Structure 1
Amino acid sequence: MPPSDHPDLRALDAISDDPRAAASGPAPRVQQTIVLPDNIPMVSLLGPTDELLRTMERAFPRTEILVRGNEFRLHGPAGDLEVLDRLLDELLEILEAGQPLNKDAVERSITMLRGQTRERPADVLTTNIVSNRGRTIRPKTLGQKHYVDAIGDNTVVFGIGPAGTGKTYLAMAKAVAALQAKQVNRIILTRPAVEAGEKLGFLPGTLNDKIDPYLRPLYDALHDMIDPESIPRLMAAGTIEVAPLAFMRGRTLNDSFIILDEAQNTSPEQMKMFLTRLGFGSKMVVTGDTSQVDLPGGIESGLKVVQRILTDVDGVHFAHLDAADVVRHRLVGEIVSAYDRYDATKGAGR
């Protein structure tokens, strides 16, 4: 439903401060009053202590936003008012879907609207992947929504991007959802056991003790999506398997959802070995960050090589996430962007 069709949510007036402003300046200021339906709980829209209203004000510093009852009175550049008008539509759609609003949802909705994408923020932020113990996992950015959709539409998907973009987490959620829907019979999670500054042989304990730290992030994600008490039973039955990449050799994996994490640390030979494990009724997701390769010198990352080999193969999709898709602390996105700028500058200076 287009924003202009939302019931009872429309501007009552939109007038320029000066009819000659359009001719004399590029950004005339206008006034607009938007009346919300009477049944909208304003505290849900504005947030506790008006936190979400403050978020809107910070995002539109040139626009005055005054709320009286169920009316939004706006005064500012016409472009800002247009985005705010659409923003209120989207936020109401999210509330009507039964999802509470928070600061993150408001900020990400504004980013999407300013990006003038075809997808509506409400459609992105209300896409449910899997629910557990009252918590629902959803994409939080447009890039993540495209990534999740690609997993549903393709047999092999590569999720490539920096830390914090949800590459592995969302793939895990799709795997759990597929298992719950009986689309697959098991989930197989794997990672290359490549050291980043430590040698496996120097670590104490058995082989399993040495390998376990490399697989721990996969266990952590599982605990968010499946009741912890069920995980040992599912693993004992082989319904969920977590193993190093070396354990995949020689196998054919049918009716499985298979995730290869940290794929930037595979060699080209390991990547080929893994991809050829694909069996009937299975789906593969390969995730990695090509800027964080820990392979010994002289070995090219299999994740980099495979992008040159499989780009045009039907059923294979490469999803690229970037700093805009980081959903960790705000600084993580800024750190990723800063490193990207540094790498670009360093490359240009060569």
Structure 2
Amino acid sequence: MAKNTCLERRLEFDDAGLARDLFGVHNANLAFVAEKTGVRADSRGSVLTLRGESIEVLDQVAEAMVSLYGMLKRGVPVSPRDIEPALAHLAKAPGSGLCKLFEEKSFIVSPKKTITPRTATQRDYLGAIRASDLVFGVGPAGTGKTYLAVAMAVADLLARRVKRLVLTRPAVEAGEKLGFLPGDLMEKVNPYLRPLYDALHDMLDFQRVTEMLAEGVIEVAPLAFMRGRTLNDAFIILDEAQNTTPEQMKMFLTRLGFGSKAVVTGDVTQVDLPRGAPSGLIEARTILTGVPGLEFVYFNEEDVIRHPLVGRIVQAYERHTQPSETK
């Protein structure tokens, strides 16, 4: 029958070097395309041959590869993590191309980093941060909520739109469990703040981050340190906000001063508060939805951008647990 008929599309690119970049090291990008779509992708020089049984999927893959190649020709970097969102975008909107998704709203954070949104939600999130003084980014891990917020914060700081950055997280175990650890309070809670430091170091040189921390231009601190302060001319990020209590969330939101912007990020499915304790982020969604001047942006699993191997590992664990769950 027709479903067993092998269809073929042949694409020839005019720059062999860029074609190699498109195909990936040892054709890793093509292998990922085959894994995700079932389309066999073979390359010879700058020629790509696609084979599959569905004309719709074949056209989708061909459009994705042509669009990604066009981005490379315009100097827009393409990495393996771009393949899956490109395929997902074109599956939803065939013929739309990728320019709006990948090129529009890209911006230079620093000489070390250029940021480009990889999904439509990421693009909307960056637009919301530009337009509003308070933005909530809600959704699962791996969607770029915190990373993009830090990128915007660094860009605003370097452009002198704000005078300082304040990055904070609740330390949900900052009580007796941490009391047994050596050092002062900051040394005890630093492990909870490490993801924020990691994002900073990805944007700026280590020495520059160290200097800005020493000068107070960048502050990374547990949420408890925010009490009683009013933060003017600052870009403030509250990460892991699902682990705030309602009182902590209200305290944080009322720290916003003149000339400041705040981003609150969290995953409401990963609350680590004591059993029965309400989450400040979940409550804020109910109380603040519709309030002028702030915006909620919701990410979902389709916005998760993983290394291809991580995706395969997650799938393997899911397959492993399924039999026991169905017993």
Whether these two folds match at TM > 0.5 is yes
Q: Is the 8 A contact 1:195 1:294 kept in 2?
A: no
Partner of residue 81, structure 2: 104
Measured after TM superposition, the shift of residue 139 of structure 1 is: 2.9
SS at match of 2:33: helix
Measured after TM superposition, the shift of residue 292 of structure 1 is: 1.8
Partner of residue 94, structure 1: 71
Find the aligned partners of 1:64 and 1:200 in 2 and give their Cα distance.
53
SS at match of 1:50: helix
Superposition misfits of 4+ residues, deviation over 6 angstroms: 24-29, 335-338
Partner of residue 121, structure 1: 98
Structure 1 unaligned segments of length 5 or more: list them.
1-23, 346-350
Partner of residue 279, structure 1: 257
Report matched runs for 1:17-32 at 5 Å: 32=9
Q: Which has the higher contact order (CA 8 A, sep 6+)?
A: 2
Equivalent position amino acid for 1:220 in 2 = D
Structure 2 unaligned segments of length 5 or more: list them.
none
Measured after TM superposition, the shift of residue 39 of structure 1 is: 7.7
Measured after TM superposition, the shift of residue 190 of structure 1 is: 1.2
Q: Is the 8 A contact 1:190 1:215 kept in 2?
A: yes
Change (3 A) 1:40 1:237: closer
Partner of residue 55, structure 1: 32
Equivalent position amino acid for 2:76 in 1 = Q
Change (3 A) 1:137 1:334: farther
Report matched runs for 1:27-176 at 5 Å: 32-37=9-14, 41-61=18-38, 63=39, 65=41, 72=48, 74=50, 76=52, 77-116=54-93, 120-126=97-103, 127-132=105-110, 134-176=112-154
Measured after TM superposition, the shift of residue 323 of structure 1 is: 2.2
Measured after TM superposition, the shift of residue 140 of structure 1 is: 2.8
Equivalent position amino acid for 1:91 in 2 = L
SS at match of 1:313: coil
Change (3 A) 1:78 1:287: same
Q: Is the 8 A contact 2:109 2:154 kept in 1?
A: no
For residues 274-313 of structure 1, the C-alpha deviation after alignment (integer angstroms, 9 at most, x for no partner) is 1111112111100111122222233200000000011101
TM-score (norm 2): 0.82
Q: Tell me which of 171, 175, 190 is aligned to 2:168.
A: 190
Find the aligned partners of 1:200 and 1:280 in 2 and give their Cα distance.
35
Measured after TM superposition, the shift of residue 321 of structure 1 is: 1.6
SS at match of 1:170: helix
Equivalent position amino acid for 2:86 in 1 = S
TM-score (norm 1): 0.78
- Report the number of matched residues: 316
Change (3 A) 1:114 1:124: same
1:207 aligns with 2:188: no
Q: Is the 8 A contact 1:164 1:332 kept in 2?
A: no
Partner of residue 255, structure 1: 233
Q: Tell me which of 288, 298, 316 is aligned to 1:320.
A: 298
For residues 162-186 of structure 1, the C-alpha deviation after alignment (integer angstroms, 9 at most, x for no partner) is 2222221111111001111111111
Measured after TM superposition, the shift of residue 49 of structure 1 is: 3.4
Measured after TM superposition, the shift of residue 335 of structure 1 is: 9.1
Change (3 A) 1:237 1:304: same
Q: Is the 8 A contact 2:24 2:30 kept in 1?
A: yes
Q: Is the 8 A contact 2:174 2:189 kept in 1?
A: no
For residues 200-236 of structure 1, the C-alpha deviation after alignment (integer angstroms, 9 at most, x for no partner) is 3222222222222222221222111121112232123
For residues 123-180 of structure 1, the C-alpha deviation after alignment (integer angstroms, 9 at most, x for no partner) is 4334534455644343333332222222122211111122222221111111001111
For residues 20-46 of structure 1, the C-alpha deviation after alignment (integer angstroms, 9 at most, x for no partner) is xxxx96998765554544687432333
Q: Please identify, of 141-150 and 225-234, the stretch whose mean Cα deviation from structure 2 is larger.
A: 141-150
Larger Cα-atom Rg: 1
Q: Is the 8 A contact 1:130 1:176 kept in 2?
A: no
SS at match of 1:199: helix
Q: Please identify, of 287-296 and 256-265, the stretch whose mean Cα deviation from structure 2 is larger.
A: 287-296
Change (3 A) 1:232 1:72: closer
Over the aligned positions, Cα root-mean-square deviation in angstroms equals 3.2
Partner of residue 214, structure 2: 236
Partner of residue 8, structure 1: none
Find the aligned partners of 2:200 and 2:219 in 1 and give their Cα distance.
11
Equivalent position amino acid for 2:135 in 1 = V
Find the aligned partners of 2:318 and 2:139 in 1 and give their Cα distance.
12
SS at match of 1:190: strand
